[in-house]
A and B are shown apart, each in its own frame.
Chain A
Amino acid sequence: MTTYIVKRLGQSALVILLTISTVFVLIRMAPGDPATAFAAPNATTEDLAQIRTQLGLDGSILSQYVTFLGQLFTGDLGTSYSFRAPAFEVVLDRVPYTITLALAAVMLTAVIALPLGIWMARRADTGRETGANIVTIAAQSMPEFWSGIMLLTVFSVLLPVLPSSGFTTWSGLVLPAITVALLQVALISRLVRREMVSNLTSPYLTVARAHGIGERRLVWGYALSNSAIPVLTALGTRFAAMLNGVVVVEVVFNWPGVGSLVVRALETRDYPLIQATVLVTAALAILVQLLIDLLYPLLDPRVRLGKATAR
């Protein structure tokens, strides 16, 4: 178990290092110059060169990279150009908002998709199930900026009941969370449906029925607890993915999470901030995924970490 965790953490560190190195090189090769974003509109070439030296951007990419790595291992991610504050702290300030949005979206997804999937399983292959499928797939296929703007129009402009942007009260969470959840419901509800149908028609369920177990318990106690494993895993994986920032939705709703931060950092060519965002979100997503994998054996007795399934 400990060996497994150590191994996984080592792998994760490697993945994060590779990711951050790739990003480091790519942003410096992409067109655009942080110095122009920084300088006054009428700055001269000399001014720009001076700013570049100040920002440590005058050397080759390789020498910049070596400096960066050196700082990284002392825990220093540099100073954000635009916030003029340690990049790491700027990112950390935004993380709770992204976690809040992701958590709300995942819970909302579960609350909608679980009953819906069970309902679809019990009406498998009927017209009503097809109807539910079409609606959820339509919701999934809507671009999120579009569904987000639609929700905004309806609930904060036409019937102004919810705030349109930012996070001042908890009600500001409602619209962005719905927008993110809309994308997930189709996927998760169909997973629930598929798992439930296969469990409801499985031999063990027929045998339990033959033993006199009631229908309600067969659905909620047997089929559901056997479906829970893949469904919870999928929800956890969606959650981990959302920690990278739900970029479009955060921008549409002006949500102060890492997603909108990364857009701003890219616009201003704020290299340290981009790097810090990538590092923090990648580490977070990987940690959450590790946590899910560690919890998995608790859910599924057939799985033992680092070992083949016992027979």
Chain B
Amino acid sequence: MSRLVEVEDLQIELITARGVVRAVDGISLHVDPGETVTLIGESGSGKSTTAMGLLRLLPPDLAVLSGKAVLAGHDVIADPAAITGLRGRVAGLIPQDPMTALSPVHTVGSRLSELVRLRHKGTSRRQARLAAKELLEQVRVPDPERVLTRYPHQLSGGLQQRVLIACALAGEPELLVADEPTSALDVTVQAGVLDLLMELQERTGVAILMITHDLGVARLVSDRVHVMREGRFVESGDVEQVVDAPTHPYPKQLLAAVPRLAPKEVPA
């Protein structure tokens, strides 16, 4: 089977007020269908930049990418225009902060219906509405009929994140890029959202590129992990090997600094 994601020697330079920052400095990774690959590292290590670069979501005038980043057979660095056909359909994004990730003036229903109709052109409004409701059921949103009529500000952070996962699923992607999907949430709802992602993966076989600074999360979900620091991978390998027997001192520090995953709770 062909690789879903293949990144080779990716470099990302950001033009900032303080000059050019090399936020990602020559990383290579791959994700196969159905796999979960985790990037773990402290704040500022370049995790989000990697994910956003892969989806070409960095402002073109402020970010310079080089190397190779192949998504479902398309090199989005050599051919940036190719990404428009891949966003949503091949790779969906679950953002870091759900509170700011939904348009304030659109209801959940209108957003989801739009995405359904984008994926399946010619779907009627009624059918799209039904599909939207099904998506909310898939992400275990209680009372989906009611949530469809809600605006983002009327939902809790945990519910917003579930809605965003539903948005990502609407495109029926082969890969979910989850940028710290739980770090902005209350500890009590974090486990529920992670569980949901694992369950969705089991059911649909979607691959996940997980980004976290939490070793507990990494241990729970990953097939492979890459430990990132200052734009480079300092250690890569199977989750057991990196988390439980790190050879590099940096993962050990992360491990010591991070509290364990909270006990499971009822979903938000």
Contacts and interface: CB of A to CB of B under 8 A. Distances in A.
9 contacts: A203-B97, A203-B100, A207-B167, A209-B57, A210-B55, A212-B88, A299-B105, A302-B153, A310-B154
Contacts of A202: 100
B210 interface: no
A301 B114 contact: no
Contacts of B164: 207
Given A213-B114, A302-B153, 18 more contacts: A203-B97, A206-B57, A207-B95, A207-B102, A207-B167, A208-B103, A210-B87, A211-B93, A212-B87, A212-B88, A212-B115, A213-B115, A225-B103, A225-B105, A226-B103, A228-B105, A301-B105, A309-B153
Contacts of A225: 103, 105-106
B151 interface: yes
Contacts of A204: 100-104
Q: In which size bucket is the chain B interface?
A: 20 to 34
A207 B104 CA distance: 13
Interface in A270-311: 299-302, 309-311
Interface string A213-226: 11000000010011
Contact of A302 (B59, B92, B104, B168): B104
B103 A203 contact: no
Rank and list the top 6 A-B pairs by shortest CB-CB distance, nearest first.
A212-B88, A210-B93, A203-B100, A301-B151, A207-B101, A212-B87
A300 B97 CA distance: 22
A209 to B, nearest CB: 6
Interface residues of A, number: 26
Given A212-B87, A310-B153, A311-B153, A222 B103 contact: yes
Nearest to B93: A210
B100 A211 contact: no
Contacts of B114: 213
Contacts of B106: 222, 225
B146 to A, nearest CB: 15
Contacts of B59: 201
A48 interface: no
B53 interface: no
A229 interface: yes
B72 interface: no
Given A212-B87, A212-B89, A301-B105, A203 B118 contact: no
B170 interface: yes
Interface of A: 201-214, 222, 225-226, 228-229, 299-302, 309-311
B84 interface: yes
Contacts of B119: 212
A204 B103 CA distance: 6
A211 B92 contact: yes
Contacts of A309: 153
A213 B88 CA distance: 8
B105 A213 contact: no
Contacts of B231: none
B249 to A, nearest CB: 34
A206 B59 CA distance: 10
A205 B151 CA distance: 16
Interface string B96-125: 010011111111000000110011000000
Contacts of B92: 210-211
B102 A226 contact: no
B121 to A, nearest CB: 12
B144 interface: no
Nearest to B102: A204
A211 B102 contact: no
Contacts of B192: none
Contacts of A206: 52, 57, 95
B171 interface: yes
B107 to A, nearest CB: 8
B93 A207 contact: yes
Nearest to B85: A212
Contacts of A302: 104, 151, 153
Nearest to B59: A201
Interface string B3-39: 0000000000000000000000000000000000000
Contacts of B115: 211-213
B84 A214 contact: yes
Nearest to B156: A311
Given A203-B97, A301-B151, A302-B151, A209 B87 contact: yes
Contacts of A208: 103
A203 B184 CA distance: 14
Nearest to B87: A212
A211 B114 CA distance: 10
A211 B87 contact: yes
A199 to B, nearest CB: 9
A283 B240 CA distance: 75
A241 to B, nearest CB: 26
A310 B154 CA distance: 7
Contacts of A203: 95, 97, 100-101
Contact of B171 (A212, A228, A299): A212
